[in-house]
Amino acid sequence: MKEVYTLADLRDWPAATAGEAPPLRLSVFGDPVAHSRSPQMHNPALAAAGLEARYCRLHIRPEELAEALRLLPKAGFIGTNVTIPHKSAVMELVDEVEPYAREAGAVNTVVVEGDRLRGFNTDGPGLVRAIRSEFSVDIRDLRVMVLGAGGGAGRAIAVQCARERCERLVLVNRTFEKAAALATELAPHFHGPRLLGPTARLEALPMEPGPLASALENTDLVINATSCGMKRGDPPVLPASLLQPHLMVYDTIYTAHRTPLLADAEAVGARAANGLSMLLHQGA
Ligand code: NAP
């Protein structure tokens, strides 16, 4: 199996993959894509499950995306993942987008059904399972604060929390307008007969210590979906003084074992986990 295949390979897949066994029937499309670790995650899982298929990388440029998707059925694919920069463009190129992916504004998984292509997003369901496995709790029972709700991952997480009808959802973003716009979009999920406490069930806040301090009093789970903490030397996304022992802190960043946020959370006695479990469950 090659490290990376291209559109030219996909146009004549039997020739490009002659002799490959099990056959290559799953992939990730990206540009760039060589860095993707998805094959290392999925191929051992396929082998362990005894499935006659393997997973490969396809370097597909934006202008090649439509043709590449339409070649999948004839090439015998079961489906493909799509990563940067295709997650939003793919929505207009498949035959059907499931409702959660439509609301999240991104598709990361395309399933081939006959000649039809169906788009899904697995980030939200992956996050729900990750929270259950890390903290033995369900999102729907929690008061959740999403940091970075205006980014791609943050939006997908916030939409999932709203669809789960969690107890309370606080959307925080450095560029406040994005959080405010998302709160307006998600408001319909929070209409209904749940008991109202002293705080709003849905609100948007700027990323400023004052408003965050009081909101954290009424928060169970803080999810960092910003990219702050990915690079060595990044400051903590929240001042350490805001963290409290009652919190569960989940950092979606998985490249660092312990981001500054997680280190600060553990130092005050809060429970903390990094994004590896979300990566695993969205992939599964
Ligand atoms: P993105 O769309 O570029 O969004 C980046 C977000 O981070 C925006 O909300 C941005 O705020 C915010 N931000 C960036 N620098 C900041 C700073 N210094 N202070 C405060 N906020 C800052 O990126 P993405 O694709 O959503 O990815 C975000 C993170 O999620 C990454 O760390 C990625 O590793 C992680 N992720 C993890 C998984 C998993 O499976 N574990 C899956 C997907 C993503 P503005 O709107 O103000 O720019």
- What spacing in Å lies between the alpha carbon of 197 and ligand 1's midpoint? 31
Whole-number Å distance between alpha carbons of 156 and 149? 8
Provide the β-strand partners of residue 119.
97, 110
∠ CA 173-179-180, nearest 5°, is 135
State whether the beta carbon of 236 lies less than 6 angstroms from ligand 1: no
State whether the beta carbon of 133 lies less than 6 angstroms from ligand 1: no
- Tell the residue nearest (CA) to atom 30 of ligand 1: 225
State whether the beta carbon of 108 lies less than 6 angstroms from ligand 1: no
- Tell the residue nearest (CA) to atom 12 of ligand 1: 226
- What spacing in Å lies between the alpha carbon of 180 and ligand 1's midpoint? 17
Whole-number Å distance between alpha carbons of 169 and 184? 12
State whether the beta carbon of 228 lies less than 6 angstroms from ligand 1: yes
- What spacing in Å lies between the alpha carbon of 275 and ligand 1's midpoint? 12
Out of 226, 231, 232, 252, give the residue to mutate to test ligand 1, the one with the largest number of ligand atoms within 8 Å of its CB. Answer: 226
State whether the beta carbon of 252 lies less than 6 angstroms from ligand 1: yes
For residue 138, give the nearest of 129, 147, 125 by alpha carbon.
129
Whole-number Å distance between alpha carbons of 144 and 2? 43
- The identity of residue 164, as a single letter, is E
How many Cα atoms occupy the beta-carbon half-sphere of 276 within 13 Å? 10
Question: Residue 193 has what pLDDT?
Answer: 63
Please give the C-alpha separations between residue 270 and each of 220, 236, 247, 267, in angstroms, as whole numbers.
Answer: 10, 15, 5, 7
Out of 86, 227, 259, 261, give the residue to mutate to test ligand 1, the one with the largest number of ligand atoms within 8 Å of its CB. Answer: 227
Give pLDDT tens digits along the chain (284 positions). Answer: 999 999 999 999 999 999 999 999 999 999 999 999 899 999 999 999 999 999 999 999 999 999 999 999 999 999 999 999 999 999 999 999 999 999 999 999 999 999 999 999 999 999 999 999 999 999 999 999 999 999 999 999 999 999 999 999 999 999 999 999 999 999 999 987 665 566 789 999 999 999 999 999 999 999 999 999 988 889 899 999 999 999 999 999 998 779 999 999 999 999 999 999 999 999 99
In this structure, the dihedral spanned by the alpha carbons of residues 178, 181, 186 and 192, taken in order and rounded to 10 degrees, is: 130
For residue 42, give the nearest of 78, 89, 11, 67 by alpha carbon.
78
Within the chain, residue ranges assigned H as helices are: 7-11, 13-16, 38-48, 65-71, 99-104, 123-135, 152-163, 176-186, 209-217, 260-267, 276-283
Indicate the DSSP class of residue 47. H
Which residues are catalytic, by number? 87
For residue 65 the two structure tokens come to 């995306």
Whole-number Å distance between alpha carbons of 170 and 145? 5
Atom of ligand 1 nearest to the CA of 174: 47
Question: Residue 255 has what pLDDT?
Answer: 83
Whether pTM > 0.85 for this model: the answer is yes
Question: Residue 195 has what pLDDT?
Answer: 59
Atom of ligand 1 nearest to the CA of 84: 25
For residue 249, give the nearest of 234, 235, 267 by alpha carbon.
267
Q: How far is CA 69 from the centre of its chain?
A: 21
